Amino acid sequence: MIRSADKEKDTGELGEVLARAFHDDPVILWMLPGGKGSALMFTTLARYQHALADLAHRDDKTAGAALWDPPGYEGDMEGAIPGFVEAMGDRVTYGMLLDEALAAHRPKEPHWYLAQIGVVPEAQGSGVGGELMRAGLARVDAEGLPAYLESTKESNIPIYEHYGFTVTERLDVPGGPPMWGMWRPSKR
């Protein structure tokens, strides 16, 4: 079951689920060795930086989450800074470097942005990610707009391709692991 998250009430849960889902993500591990601080970082992202969040539930447990931004959305960076500093400590500059590098490559055309989508390890491969993706893309398609994401794992590219995304470029952050920008054209 997919439900829209309440940005005030559910952000801690979103942070915990995404931290578990991204426990082995190369970009997260580059920014936060061992994943230390990732739950608070994702909580801060959900509360201040992204417009919409979906939660997936299986067997009365939260199994996955997705964070989306509609066209033109700008998060509350000022509100987010204390959470990022607490979560990342002296590694906060890595997050700033990543954010700047990715922002420079995002398409200028109006689009929905899938910032994060993740499934907890014990539910991976069970269809939860697909449910989250379909729910988000239904919103995108209802507006007749394209969508964009960055894949932080090369192994996830075929999954995103299944939903109509194609790689537009490889993104390299100085000193960080590679990522891939992916675009999904409008379905109208």
Question: pTM of the predicted model, to two decimals?
Answer: 0.95
| Domain hosting residue 78, numbered range | 2-184
Counting the structural domains of the chain, the total is 1
Asked if residue 113 lies in contact with residue 184, where contact means CB atoms within 8 angstroms, the answer is no
Residue 19 has what pLDDT? 98
Per-residue model confidence as pLDDT tens digits over 127-151 = 999 999 999 999 999 999 999 999 9
Is it the case that residue 22 has pLDDT exceeding 90?
A: yes
**CATH number, domain with residue 156:** 3.40.630.30
Sign of the CA dihedral running 79, 84, 154, 17 = negative
Q: What is the mean pLDDT of residues 81-109?
A: 93
CA gyration radius, the chain: 15
String of DSSP letters for 106-169: S-SS--EEEEEEEE-GGGTTTTHHHHHHHHHHHHHHHTT--EEEEES-GGGHHHHHHTT-EEEE
